Structure 1
Amino acid sequence: MPRQERAIRTRRAILEAAGAVFDEHGYTSTTIAMVLERADVTKGALYFHFPSKEALAQAVLSEQVLFGTVPPRECKVQEVIDMTYVVGQRLRTDSLLRGSVRLAVDQETPSGVDHGEPFRQWADRLTVLMERASAQGELLPTVRPRETVELLVGGFTGIQLMSRAMSDRSDLGDRLSVLWAHILPSIAVPGLLPALDTRPDRGARLLTELHLEAS
């Protein structure tokens, strides 16, 4: 295996192992030794990519928004909806994403780790889509895209935390469907509402679509 490809795979293995350990134990209780054991790599390999536990946590946080990738839609409101469902579905099984989300809300994450980064990244990415939706006439004229997006990001964060505590996120699709049922009438033009898909199984269907596109 070429050296560069091996390094990429090693880095990914470390990130996935770190995500799993951070998710299970939180930042404070996680040790480098735990990550090394889970990733099955040497200490030298880990420190080649991540010079400290803080750097490793920051890298895990930086991966979060990538998990929201969805197929582009002509209707940008639907694309925003789809991103929440894809992240919700992946939270059920993906250890790296779960670890990133836990770090973002973990109050014991030290100040040296910017756990606000994923919130800003989500807000920036979703605001672009909401502004396009507004330009296409999908939103009510009173909607301010940035404010709406920040409300949505905060709402999603709270709902997934509640879902994790109540059902290990098995009911997150249902909870997202309820969230959107309340939000959409206040932001989308009435004629658009019947065409928007917010059914609880939306996330599972989107992942199937993504897998088919990748194959």
Structure 2
Amino acid sequence: MAKQERGARSRQAILEAAAEVFDLRGYDAASTNEILARSGLTRGALYHHFASKEAIATALLDAHSGALSAPERSTRLQSVIDLTFAFAVQLQHDPVLRAGVRLAVEKTSFPIPVNTPYEQSTATVRELLGEAQRRGEILPGLDLDDATSVIIGAFTGLQVMSQVYTNREDLPGRIGVMWRFLLPGMAAPGLIGSLRVTPPPADVVAADRAQAEARVEVANGSSD
């Protein structure tokens, strides 16, 4: 068990070091030498976990799907809204997620896998909007594919602008503005007034984190 834990820590250290380098320099300019220097590990340790720089990048992209766990809310539209806020906050603090987003946005020599971060995000949001429609939360006749595309596209553009201007410090505020503009064209009459377009309160965030950790523990227990 101790050996497994050391291996998991080494793998995470490599991912975090690579994320910092990719986020700083981009995929093509990043080198395994700099990744190793930041991680403090040996080249043998790196190649024990990852066969190449491409394999590291693929693992970073895989981390993107873990950030797409929608919180449980009384309405599915609020779940979508709070998912975007949670993703925005994680972008501010998690170099692994930031690196995955940069890998997805940039045109580099790295071959993006078939199931790209955009497709992962699109599938998650489209599923939530479908549930919202079945619950009567969506305006009749709304094209859910178009709505999903606009949400993903608007979020992507805003996070890039926020990165350029404030290093993503103002990203949650920009996301709130996005929803104030989008909801009148999406939400059923009478629902808009009950939807929050600001980040969730601290106690709600803490409850979401506890639920997420519980799901991870259950998943790890079932895999043992």
TM-score of the two chains, using structure 1 as the length reference = 0.90
Question: Does the C-alpha gap of structure 1 residues 69 and 112 become closer, same or farther in structure 2, counting only changes over 3 Å?
Answer: same
Q: Does 1:156 align with 2:155?
A: yes
- Superposed, 1:57-136 pairs within 5 Å as 57-107=57-107, 109-114=108-113, 117-136=116-135
RMSD across aligned C-alpha pairs, in angstroms?
A: 2.1
- Deviation, 1:144, is 2.2
TM-superposition CA deviations, 1:153-206 (whole Å, max 9, x none): 11111100000101111111111111101111111102110111112x438665
Q: Does the 8 A contact of 2:61 with 2:100 survive in 1?
A: yes
Distance in 2 separating the partners of 1:111 and 1:8:
25
5+ residue gaps, structure 1, are: none
- Deviation, 1:3, is 2.2
Residue identity (%): 37
Match of 1:34 in 2: 34
AA paired with 2:155?
A: F
Number of residue pairs matched? Answer: 213
AA paired with 1:194?
A: G
TM-superposition CA deviations, 1:126-168 (whole Å, max 9, x none): 1111111111111112222222112211111110000010111
TM-score of the two chains, using structure 2 as the length reference = 0.87
- Deviation, 1:112, is 2.3
Match of 2:164 in 1: 165
AA paired with 1:98?
A: R
Distance in 2 separating the partners of 1:134 and 1:162:
31
Match of 2:43 in 1: 43
Distance in 2 separating the partners of 1:141 and 1:190:
10
Match of 2:200 in 1: 202
Match of 2:220 in 1: none
Moved beyond 4 Å, runs of 4+: 203-206, 211-215
